[in-house]
Amino acid sequence: MGFPVHRMRRLRRNEYLRSMVREHSLNVKDFIYPMFVVHGSGVKREIPSLKGNYHLSVDKIVEEARIVRDLGIPAVLLFGIPAKRDVAASEAYSTDGIVQQAVRALKDKVPELVVITDVCLCEYTEHGHCGIVENGYLQNDASLELIAKVACSHAEAGADIMAPAAMLDGQIKTMRENLDKNGFLNVALMAYSVKFASRLYDPFFKEGTQSHVTSGDKRSHQMDYSNATEALREIALDIEEGADIIMVKPAMFYLDIVYRVKEQFKVPLAVYNVSGEYAMVKAAAQVAKLDETALRHEILTGFKRAGANLIISYHAKEIAQSLMQK
Ligand code: PBG
Ligand code: ZN
């Protein structure tokens, strides 16, 4: 029994009708805002390829965090740009490391804002790899020991959630055990469970953290973008090891993965709408004159429709502003 009994357009006649049957919508509480912290004071420098996002010194990150909180965004994700890089990634787990300083300041001055830290070593090593490299190969278990040290130093500073980013085997288990052993039972883990080796991270490294792999690439640990079922195994392992929130990254080209993961696992699921995705939107708006506000809303709603519960995005402030105006 189809037409003329059924007319799909009946419920599309006006915005009030459409809003009654809308299945998914964006809420400011879905968002996590990434921030870049640098040494110094009084620094607020726009990142050219991530317009509207900044390198911020500790004093300025507090100011910016108040704005983020007042927009209703519940959480930030911190990345540090260290003063120096070395083979041991020593600033990554130093008490006075840049991220540790920022976490302490944020928990002191804007305590209600949830502080998430990215736990990886690539911003801190001189070769730009995510841990200890020997014979051109990222050493898994030796790097885990460093990751555990980073985790404890972030927890001591007061981080609420940690996001292990290296795609090392066993990183969730190692972090959970070390955090528990040191009394940090309530620090949650948001695992970068499925991180594809993607070109879409280029703006993040080139102008965000300014760390570069000096030789080789990250394909010995990040996932091959040709694979889908492998992603389900990665997720299952991370949940077993103790992940509280799982993540798929990047987001835009990977919504098939997001959908499959959400169908199979009933665990809070985050997507990372990465730097290259953000840069593409800005470029499309500038070069091809697409309506940026509408484009942003469509892309971000697509993430929710696919099954994401949380969205890490450089658009978080912009979208919070436009949701307020609705
Ligand atoms: C790892 C990390 C990366 C990003 C976030 N955390 C880079 C990588 O995994 O290679 C990329 C985020 C982006 O492109 O926006 N520290
Ligand atoms: Zn890394």
pLDDT digits (tens, 9 = 90+) for 258-309: 999 999 999 999 999 999 999 999 999 999 999 999 999 999 999 999 999 9
What single-letter amino acid sits at 55? H
pLDDT of residue 326: 74
Report how far apart, in Å, the C-alpha atoms of 238 and of each of 189, 190, 246, 309, 316 are: 10, 10, 8, 17, 27
Percent of the chain at pLDDT exceeding 70? 100
**Burial category of 76 from C-beta neighbours within 10 Å (exposed 0-12, middle 13-18, buried 19 and up):** buried
Q: Pull the structure tokens for residue 145.
A: 């020991």
> Which ligand is closest in space to the CA of residue 35?
1
What's residue 212's pLDDT?
87
In the chain, how many H helices and how many E strands?
11, 12
Q: Which of 195, 218, 282, 304 is catalytic?
A: 195
Which ligand sits nearest to residue 209's alpha carbon? 1
pLDDT band at 256 (very low <50, low <70, confident <90, very high): very high
Q: Give the whole-number percent of the chain exceeding pLDDT 90.
A: 98
- Sign of the C-alpha dihedral computed for residues 282, 199, 301 and 68 taken in this order: negative
Pocket of ligand 1 contains residue 122 by CB under 6 Å: yes
**Band (252; pLDDT cuts 50, 70, 90):** very high
Instruction: Quote the pLDDT of residue 196.
Output: 98
Alpha helices in 32-73 (DSSP H): 58-70
What 3-state class would DSSP assign to 109?
helix
203-232 pLDDT, tens digit per residue, is 999 999 999 899 999 999 999 999 999 999
Topology (CATH) of 24-325: TIM Barrel (3.20.20)
Contact (Cβ atoms closer than 8 angstroms) between residue 108 and residue 100: no
**Mean pLDDT of the chain, nearest integer:** 97
Q: Classify strands 31-38 and 75-81 as parallel, antiparallel or unpaired.
A: parallel
Residue 165 CB less than 6 A away from ligand 1:
yes
Q: Where do the structural domains in the chain lie, given as residue ranges?
A: 24-325
Q: Tally the C-alpha atoms within 13 A of residue 47's C-alpha that lie toward its C-beta.
A: 28
Active-site residue, selected from the candidate residues 60, 218, 249, 282:
249
Pocket test for ligand 1, best of 50, 51, 120 (most atoms within 8 A of CB): 120
**Catalytic site residue 195?**
yes
Closest residue by CA, ligand 1 atom 14: 201
> Residues 68-90: pLDDT tens digits?
999 999 999 999 999 999 999 99
Give the C-alpha separation, 171 to 53, whole Å: 29
